[in-house]
Structure 1
């Protein structure tokens, strides 16, 4: 099941603009290795879940995976072949806003070689450019 907020103040949100680098959530704190975004963008709840499944299948119970992002932004869209007007579309999916430097996932309890392979599998699923970082 994809992540989404339990309740929100407003159902629909404006698109906004991603400016600057991440000042929070930009260092590895829970695990030994992390996956850091090098670009800004939106990460859908489905993409976050796909990354979680790919990592869990690889580490197979040894080690722990931490997900450091949560989708809090509703992204709306209007159905195809609809005329102009009639207001803003309905929320279609939930997305996490990613700034450059944000840590997306963290791994602990595995060796460096295994972490590198696991995070490489995760990187293939991501719509933004990412890199592996170590703690400290």
Structure 2
């Protein structure tokens, strides 16, 4: 099932900018491994879901996987051959704004090699450059 918000305060949102960096470094919140973006991009629910499926197929539901992104930003499009003006277009799809340095997926609970292989396969499903980060801190 694809991700989209059930309810929003405003139906349409202004576009804004994507180029700013979230932070030079992000700590992992709940996992020992994470996929971190190296580019700013819009991520669709289809791309998030395909990467999640690959990770769950590799890890066989033996570990805990955290998805830290959610498509809460509406993309609007006007019909073709429409004149200028007359307001903003209709909502085409919901996307997630990913900025450079954002942690997308995290995992914990199985062997290091298995998580690394799962994240390597999931990186191929994502339309941006990413890197896999291993947390060196031990959780209590």
Q: Normalising by structure 1, report the TM-score.
A: 0.90
Q: CA RMSD in A?
A: 1.8
Instruction: Give the ranges of 4+ consecutive aligned residues of structure 1 lying more than 3 Å apart after TM superposition.
Output: none
Q: Who is 1:82 aligned against?
A: 81
Q: CA separation of 1:2/1:25 partners in 2, compared to 1, >3 Å: closer, same or farther?
A: farther
Aligned length: 135
Offset of residue 20 of structure 1? 2.3
| Partner of residue 46, structure 1 | 46
- Identify the residue that residue 30 of structure 1 maps to in structure 2: 30
Segments of structure 2 that go 5 or more residues without pairing to the other structure are none
Structure of higher CA gyration radius? 2
Unaligned stretches of 5+ in structure 1?
A: none
Would the aligned equivalents of 1:24 and 1:102 in 2 still touch at CA under 8 Å?
Answer: no
**CA drift at 1:73:** 0.4
Superposition deviation, residue 38 in structure 1:
0.5
Q: How far 1:23 moved relative to its partner?
A: 3.5
CA distance in 2 between counterparts of 1:109 and 1:27 reads: 18
